[in-house]
Amino acid sequence: MTTSSTPESRRWVVTGASRGLGLAIARLAASRGDRVALIARGDNIDVQAKAIGGEAIGLVADVTDPASVTDACARVAEQWGGIDVLINNAGLHRGGLLGSLSQDDWQAVLDTNLSGPLNFVRAVLPHMGEGGSIVNIGAVVGLRGFAGDAAYGASKAGLAGLTQVLAVELARRGLRVNLVIPGMISTEMTAGIPARAKAKLVASIPLGREGTAEELADVVWWVAGSPYMTGSIISNDGGLLCRL
C-alpha cells in the first residue's frame, strides 16, 4: 500500500511521542491539519492522542521489537491508506565512563537509538509512496565527544551515517531522509542533567539559553516538507556546535 496524500493532509508516524520533543512534533503536525499517529511504549499514549484531538491516534509499540513496529505501521496504513512522514524520535540515554558503563546499558541504547529507527524505516516502506519523508532525530554528542556518553554518542553517530546511506538508497523511490540535531532542549530527558553540568553547557551556547521543544518541532516540520532536501544534517542548537 503506497498511496500518496496531499500536503494539506499528510499522515505522520512519530515515535517517542508521549512527551518532550516527540509530543511537541505531534502536536504541531496535528495543529496544522495533518493526521498523526503517536507511538510510544506506555499505555498512556492513547490519552495523549485524545488530548491532541483531531484525527490523532495513539499506538503502543516498542521500537526495539520489529514485530511490534511492523504491526503498528500496518495499523496506521490500514486506517489512513498510507504513511507520508516518519519521525524517528524515540531515544534512550544511559551514561557512564567506560569503566562503569555496563554491556546491558550499551546494548539497550544501541537497540533503541540505532536499530529502532531502522526497524521503523523498514516497517513504513511498504506504506510510503513517492514524496514521503523520513526525519531522524540526532544529537550534538553524535558529532562531538562528551566524556561518559560512549553509548549515546555512538548510537547517534551511527544514526547520522544511517541517514546518509538511506538518503542515497531511497532517493530512487522518491523518498527523502534527513537528520535534525537538537542542542540543549528543555525536556524531561535534559531535566535529569545535574544543575552544575547544565549551567556549564548552557554557558557554552552562543545564544545563551536552552531551546524549547516547540522550536525544535518547527524545524522538523520544515525539514519534513522540504521537497529537494535529502541526506542533510540540520542543527537547531543555538550555535552550540560552532563553539565545541
Rounded Cα gap, residues 29 and 36, in angstroms: 7
* pLDDT tens over the chain, length 244 residues: 444 444 468 999 999 999 999 999 999 999 999 999 999 998 899 999 999 998 999 999 999 999 999 999 999 999 999 999 999 999 998 888 888 899 999 999 999 999 999 999 999 999 999 999 999 999 998 888 787 789 999 999 999 999 999 999 999 999 999 999 998 887 776 666 777 877 888 888 999 888 999 999 999 999 999 999 999 999 998 888 888 7
Q: Is 114 helix (H, G, I), strand (E, B) or coil?
A: helix
Alpha helix segments (H runs only) across the chain:
20-31, 45-52, 66-80, 103-110, 116-124, 150-171, 195-203, 213-224, 240-243
How far is the C-alpha of 93 from the C-alpha of 235, rounded, in Å? 19
Which amino acid, residue 122? R
Cell numbers placing 121: 524505516
DSSP one-letter code for 188 = T
Determine the Cα–Cα distance for residues 227 and 118; give it in Å rounded to an integer: 22
CB atoms within 10 A of CB 209: 10
Residue 29 amino acid letter: A
Q: Is 228 a catalytic residue?
A: no
Count the residues in the chain. 244
Q: Considering only the top CATH level, what class is 7-243?
A: alpha beta
Best CA proximity match to 89, nearest among 188, 14, 160:
14
Whose grid coordinates read 542542542?
A: 183
Ranges of each domain in the chain: 7-243
Query: Catalytic pick from 106, 152, 162, 167?
Result: 152
Residue 160 · residue 203 · CB < 8 Å: no
Q: Are the CB atoms for 114 and 159 separated by under 8 Å?
A: yes
pLDDT the model gives residue 189 = 67
Phi first, then psi, for residue 2 (nearest 5°) are -135, 35
